Structure 1
Amino acid sequence: MKMNHHLDDATLVSYSAGALPAALAVVASAHLERCAECRQHLLDADQIGGVLMQQQRADAPAEDARAAMLALLDDQPAVEQITLPVDVLEQRDPDRLPSALHPWFGNSMRALRWRRVAPGVQRILAIGIGGGDLMLLRIAPGSKLPLHSHAGNELTMILDGAYDDMLGHFGPGDVADLDGETLHQPVTSPGVPCICVAATDGPLKFSGWFARTLQPLFGF
Structure 2
Amino acid sequence: MNPHHHPDIVTLMGYSSGGLSVAFAAVVSAHLSVCHLCRDRLRATDTIGGGLLGQQEGLALSEGAAERLLAKLEHTEPDTPTPPPELWRHDPDELPEPLWPYFGSSYKALRWKWIGPGIHHIRSHGADDGHLMLLRVKPGRSLPMHTHGGSELTMILRGAYDDTLGHFAPGDVADLDEDTEHQPVTAPGVPCICVAATDAPLRFSGWMARALQPFVRL
Residue 91 of structure 1 and its aligned partner are, at CA, apart by: 2.5
- Structure 1 residue aligned with 2:4: 4
3-state DSSP of counterpart to 1:109: coil
Which of 69, 74, 79 matches 2:71? 74
Shift in alpha-carbon separation, 1:56–1:86, aligned structure 2, 3 A: closer
- Structure 2 residue aligned with 1:22: 22
Question: How far apart, CA to CA, are the structure 1 residues paired with 2:53 and 2:83?
Answer: 40
Residue 83 of structure 1 and its aligned partner are, at CA, apart by: 4.1
Report % sequence identity.
55
- Structure 2 residue aligned with 1:31: 31
Question: How far apart, CA to CA, are the structure 2 residues paired with 1:70 and 1:108?
Answer: 42
Residue 82 of structure 1 and its aligned partner are, at CA, apart by: 3.3
1:55-66 aligned at under 5 Å gives the runs 55-56=55-56
Shift in alpha-carbon separation, 1:207–1:192, aligned structure 2, 3 A: same
Question: Aligned partner of 1:192: which letter?
Answer: V
Q: Let me know the Cα RMSD of the aligned residues.
A: 2.1
Shift in alpha-carbon separation, 1:130–1:213, aligned structure 2, 3 A: same
Question: How far apart, CA to CA, are the structure 2 residues paired with 1:126 and 1:199?
Answer: 10
1:62-106 deviation line (CA, Å, top 9, x unaligned) = xxxxx9746522234422263448987653111111111101111
Which of 150, 154, 157 matches 1:156? 154
- Structure 2 residue aligned with 1:50: 50
Question: Aligned partner of 1:103: which letter?
Answer: P
Question: How far apart, CA to CA, are the structure 1 residues paired with 2:79 and 2:191?
Answer: 27
1:41-65 deviation line (CA, Å, top 9, x unaligned) = 010000111111111378xxxxxxx
3-state DSSP of counterpart to 2:33: helix
Aligned: 1:207 with 2:199: no
1:94-105 aligned at under 5 Å gives the runs 94-105=92-103
Which of 169, 172, 186 matches 1:171? 169
Question: In the alignment, is the contact (CA less than 8 A) between 1:163 and 1:170 conserved in 2?
Answer: yes
3-state DSSP of counterpart to 1:23: helix
Which of 181, 185, 206 matches 1:187? 185
- Identify unmatched segments of 5+ residues in structure 2: 59-63
- Structure 2 residue aligned with 1:133: 131
Question: In the alignment, is the contact (CA less than 8 A) between 1:149 and 1:184 conserved in 2?
Answer: yes
Question: In the alignment, is the contact (CA less than 8 A) between 2:36 and 2:83 conserved in 1?
Answer: no
Shift in alpha-carbon separation, 1:70–1:93, aligned structure 2, 3 A: farther
3-state DSSP of counterpart to 2:203: strand
Question: Aligned partner of 1:106: which letter?
Answer: G
Shift in alpha-carbon separation, 1:101–1:85, aligned structure 2, 3 A: closer
Q: TM-score, normalised by structure 1?
A: 0.90
Question: In the alignment, is the contact (CA less than 8 A) between 2:36 and 2:84 conserved in 1?
Answer: no
Question: Aligned partner of 2:52: which letter?
Answer: L
3-state DSSP of counterpart to 1:34: coil
Question: How far apart, CA to CA, are the structure 1 residues paired with 2:24 and 2:85?
Answer: 32
Question: In the alignment, is the contact (CA less than 8 A) between 1:10 and 1:70 conserved in 2?
Answer: no
- Identify unmatched segments of 5+ residues in structure 1: 59-66
